[in-house]
Chains A and B, each alone.
Chain A
Amino acid sequence: DTEVTQTPKHLVMGMTNKKSLKCEQHMGHRAMYWYKQKAKKPPELMFVYSYEKLSINESVPSRFSPECPNSSLLNLHLHALQPEDSALYLCASSRLGRGGYEQYFGPGTRLTVT
């Protein structure tokens, strides 16, 4: 199973709402990533978890709050977002180690902030 799943596929939320994005993988990967992608642009890294601990935060605003409850699951909690936060949010996972392990991406959640 080389699949990363993400729910929901689409999300529309107001600026005062609280919502969460979910990502799941069952490949035994111990690194998980959140990316933000605007149209026709490359993904921008937001967070990296390794061994369920936050290892990289790319200076993301606190209205985005990641959580890694276990080695298979990654959440992104959203609160008080701005319209400019509308984007495709991608989750990815990879092995950890000294090799250059490729990342497996999920299909993404299309987020619209109104």
Chain B
Amino acid sequence: AQTVTQSQPEMSVQEAETVTLSCTYDTSENNYYLFWYKQPPSRQMILVIRQEAYKQQNATENRFSVNFQKAAKSFSLKISDSQLGDTAMYFCAFMKPPGTYKYIFGTGTRLKVLA
């Protein structure tokens, strides 16, 4: 069975600084998808970034980028130029296609951006 581990329950970063959130997972599958979701205090989950395991290139989305290390089963999220609006709970999620459509979520990292 797949598992997802986020080892940092809470983190803080100064505004405009860079922070990296870690995520590791365990799977025997070769083809799968990884996601980072953000859940601000208002509670709506928002997709931050996704990565397809068969793509070697790391995904980027504006200030958000990932470091995907397939052999190490690691999928960390880097947030550059942190903003107060980045304060949220961040969940890493694993999905094995096709057909299951089930996410395996990590336990989350609570990130606080300090002014």
A interface residues with partner B (beta carbon < 8 Å): 31, 33, 40-43, 45, 48, 50, 55-56, 88, 90, 92, 94, 96-100, 102-108
Contacts and interface: CB of A to CB of B under 8 A. Distances in A.
Closest 3 CB pairs of A and B: A100-B33, A42-B105, A105-B45
Nearest to B52: A100
Interface string B74-115: 000000000000000101000101101111011110100000
A5 to B, nearest CB: 11
B50 A100 contact: yes
A13 to B, nearest CB: 20
A43 B105 contact: yes
A100 to B, nearest CB: 3
A98 B45 contact: no
Contacts of B102: 45, 48, 56
Interface residues of B, number: 26
A98 B46 CA distance: 22
Interface in B41-74: 42-47, 50, 52
B35 interface: yes
Given A96-B101, A100-B33, A41 B44 contact: no
Best-surrounded residue of A43, A45, A90 (most CB of chain B within 10 A): A43
A99 B97 contact: yes
A108 B43 contact: yes
10 contacts: A56-B101, A88-B43, A100-B50, A100-B97, A102-B35, A103-B103, A107-B42, A107-B43, A108-B43, A108-B44
A112 B32 CA distance: 36
Contact of B44 (A48, A98, A102, A107): A107
Nearest to B46: A105
A102 B50 contact: yes
Given A94-B101, A100-B50, A42 B44 contact: no
Given A107-B42, A107-B44, A41 B35 contact: no
Given A97-B98, A100-B95, A105 B44 contact: yes
